Amino acid sequence: MNRLDDAQLIGLIARGHEWAFERLLRRYRQALMRLLYALTADRAMTEDLFQETFVTLVEKASSYQPTGSARHWVFTIARHKALNALSESHRRRARLLAFAGASPGHVRTDPVDSSTRAANAELQAAFEAAMADLPPLVRACFVLQRFDRLSHAQVARLLELPLGTVKTHIRRARDHLRRQLRPFID
Amino acid sequence: MGERSKTRKTKLDALLDRIELPGASPALLQETRTAAIEAMANRQMDEAGDVILTPAEAAALLRVDEQTLRDNLADLPAFEFAGHIRFSRRALEEWVRQRTADFGEQMARQQPLKIIAG
């Protein structure tokens, strides 16, 4: 049986085929969770955005033009949602902090929740805290390259960033993680 | 220096291999399916000039409270999806037209009786 490509599945979703949605969901669930988590460093926000991304994908499926990469289209929806949510969350936090008289630079949300199931919870927590220190696109470049095994060029295309910027972001993320995870390395 | 840096890099990668990034739980996948399928149905209805309504929206359309609507659900053109009651706006409007016509007929039948009785 021929394997339908992503663009064909999006076309079928536009015509209301639920099974096509199911296939696309299976195909992208891991990559999108990782991308959204990389961008937000917040598990709860990641889950909300994951659902919103797929709903938007369904809503926009009929306007999808299969001229470019479908993967790029899906990732762009997710990236825009995450960056919008982050800026809204920063604005909300800044308002709260202004109300409390604190400085936004010293506070960040704790990305580690009680459901962490990692075998080594301490390492996992240190990793998540270190990731939260990095800017969203730096995290995204690193996660796509390191955990999704994409090449630098593929990351650059998906995130619409210059290749040199992607390389710099990845190097920055690795240097930061190496410093922050030193107690686990030594 | 280069060798040392290479060793460190390998150790970092070994650590990263132990990291678990969050995955989509079965509950999240199910919620996503439900939301997406509802969006799919809404989009199709929109394209056909129709839209799916929640009980609260249907009650607002009929100008009754939601409890009254739920108490009379058996009379209404509703459907159930994944445990949720939903309405097609178009079907509901058609139902209103039909009820209006039936009511008019009923009144017309009753009217002569009233006159006779009066």
For residue range A129-168, list pLDDT tens digits in order.
999 899 999 999 999 999 888 999 999 998 899 999 999 9
Phi first, then psi: what are they for B36, rounded to 5°? -70, -40
Q: Which residues are CB-contacts of A142 (< 8 A; sequence separation ≥ 6)?
A: A38, A134, A169, A170, A173, A174, A177
Mean pLDDT, range A86-102, rounded to an integer: 64
Q: Identify the pLDDT of residue B111.
A: 65
Question: How far apart are alpha carbons B22 and A92 in whole angstroms?
Answer: 25
Question: How far apart are alpha carbons A127 and A129 in whole angstroms?
Answer: 5
Q: Which residues are CB-contacts of A27 (< 8 A; sequence separation ≥ 6)?
A: A6, A9
From A108-112, B73-77, B78-82, the region with the lowest mean pLDDT = A108-112
Residue with tokens 């840096």: B5
Residue B117, pLDDT > 80, answer: no
- Distances from the Cα of A184 to the Cα of A113, B11, B16, B48, angstroms: 21, 9, 11, 59
Which of A29, A47, A184 is nearest residue B15 as measured by Cβ atoms?
A184
Residue B118, pLDDT > 50, answer: no
Which of B12, B37, B39 is nearest residue A59 as measured by Cβ atoms?
B39
Say yes or no for a CB contact (<8 Å) between B44 and A16. Answer: yes
Contacts 24+ apart (CB under 8 A), A147-151: A147/A34, A147/B16, A147/B21, A148/A31, A148/A34
Q: How confident is the model at residue A96 (pLDDT cuts 50, 70, 90)?
A: low
Question: How far apart are alpha carbons B10 and A145 in whole angstroms?
Answer: 16
Q: What DSSP character marks residue B50? A: -
Question: How far apart are alpha carbons A49 and A46 in whole angstroms?
Answer: 5
Per the structure block, which two tokens stand in for B4? 């040392």
Beta strand residue intervals within B5-75, DSSP E? 52-53
Q: Which of the residues B9, B11, B16, B21 would you substitute to probe the A interface, choosing the one with the greatest number of A C-beta atoms within 10 Å? A: B21
Q: State the complex-level ipTM.
A: 0.71
From A125-129, B48-52, B59-63, the region with the lowest mean pLDDT = B48-52
Contact A46, B22 (CB under 8 A): yes
Q: 0.95 cut: is pTM over it?
A: no
Q: Identify the pLDDT of residue A107.
A: 37
Question: How far apart are alpha carbons A159 and A20 in whole angstroms?
Answer: 25
In chain A, which among 64-93 make CB contacts under 8 A with chain B?
none
Residue A104, pLDDT > 70, answer: no
Residue B57, pLDDT > 60, answer: yes
Residue with tokens 């150790």: B11
Q: What is the dihedral of CA A50, A53, A54, A55, to 10 degrees?
A: 120
Q: Identify the pLDDT of residue A2.
A: 63
Write down the mean pLDDT value for chain A.
83
A127 vs B contacts (CB less than 8 Å):
15-16, 19
Say yes or no for a CB contact (<8 Å) between B37 and A181. Answer: no
Residue A102, pLDDT > 50, answer: no
- Between helix B2-16 and helix A163-180 the angle, nearest 10°, is 80
Mean pLDDT, range B66-79, rounded to an integer: 91
Fill in the amino acid letter for B93. E
Which of A29, A38, A184 is nearest residue B29 as measured by Cβ atoms?
A29
Question: How far apart are alpha carbons A37 and B21 in whole angstroms?
Answer: 8
Which of B21, B33, B41 is nearest residue A34 as measured by Cβ atoms?
B21
pLDDT in tens, B14-43: 888 888 888 888 999 999 999 998 888 888
Per the structure block, which two tokens stand in for A92? 């909300």
Write down the mean pLDDT value for chain B.
82
Say yes or no for a CB contact (<8 Å) between A21 and B36. Answer: yes
pLDDT in tens, A65-80: 877 788 889 999 999 9
Say yes or no for a CB contact (<8 Å) between B22 and A46. Answer: yes
Q: Identify the pLDDT of residue B91.
A: 87
In chain A, which among 20-39 make CB contacts under 8 A with chain B?
21-22, 25, 29-30, 33-34, 37-38
Fill in the amino acid letter for B1. M
